[in-house]
């Protein structure tokens, strides 16, 4: 729980707009309290007001540590969080889940027999909600962030 004091002192920093609504502050508090184990492991949660009454909820590593993490590092906490989010805020749906992902290209083979090292390719990708909830993503999937697009029903 070493980040609780730090989070409470910068809580407003990651809520978009000068005067966030009470609902936005409540949603951010809900997200942080349900992802506290990940926050203790150097993650942070951002809650941003989006268009049409929606919200973006982003989970990412703090910038002062390694920003890449694997799905297997967060899957249990994150899936439980999504289920609680949908139960608590039943007037909202998850529109999309988007992730910043590191994928590797195929190694190149040269005529002299040498093989190049696979190089990372960074992409922003929509992930199927069922893949997340049913935990069918590759455990070794490397993520930079994962964002829920929450929309009013």
For 128-153, the pLDDT digits (tens) are 999 999 999 999 999 999 999 999 98
Number of domains in the chain: 1
The confidence score (pLDDT) of residue 65 equals: 74
Q: What is the share, in percent, of the chain residues with pLDDT greater than 70?
A: 88
Asked whether 39 and 7 are in contact (CB, 8 A), the reply is: yes
DSSP for the chain, please give it: -TTHHHHHHHGGGGBSSSS--HHHHHHHHHHHHHTHHHHTTTEEEEEEE-GGG-EEEEEEE-TTS---EEHHHHHHHHHHHHHHHHHHTTTEEEEEEEEEEEEEPPPPB-TTS-BPPPPEEEEEEEE-HHHHHTT-S-TT-EEEEEEEEEEE-
Average pLDDT estimate for 58-62: 95
**Residue 11 above 70 pLDDT?**
no
- Percent of the chain having pLDDT more than 90? 65
Does some domain include residue 104? Answer: no
Q: What is the pLDDT of residue 18?
A: 55
Residue-range definition of the domain harbouring residue 59:
4-98+127-135+144-152
Asked if residue 43 is part of any domain, the answer here is: yes
Inside any domain, residue 87: yes
Within-domain flag for 116: no
pTM: 0.80
């Amino acid at each position: 729980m070493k980040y609780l004091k730090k989070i409470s002192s910068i809580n407003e920093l990651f809520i978009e707009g000068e005067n966030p609504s009470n609902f936005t502050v409540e949603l951010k508090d809900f997200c942080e309290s349900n992802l506290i184990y990940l926050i203790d492991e150097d993650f942070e949660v951002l809650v941003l007001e989006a268009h049409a009454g929606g919200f973006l909820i982003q989970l990412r590593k703090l910038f002062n540590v390694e920003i890449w993490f694997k799905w297997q590092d967060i899957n249990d906490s994150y899936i439980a969080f999504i289920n609680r989010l949908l139960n608590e805020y039943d007037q909202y749906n998850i529109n999309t889940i988007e992730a910043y992902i590191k994928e590797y290209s195929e190694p190149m083979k040269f005529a002299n027999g040498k093989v190049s090292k696979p190089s990372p390719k960074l992409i922003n990708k929509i992930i199927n909600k069922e893949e997340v909830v049913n935990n069918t993503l590759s455990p070794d999937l490397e993520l930079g962030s994962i964002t829920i697009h929450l929309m009013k029903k």
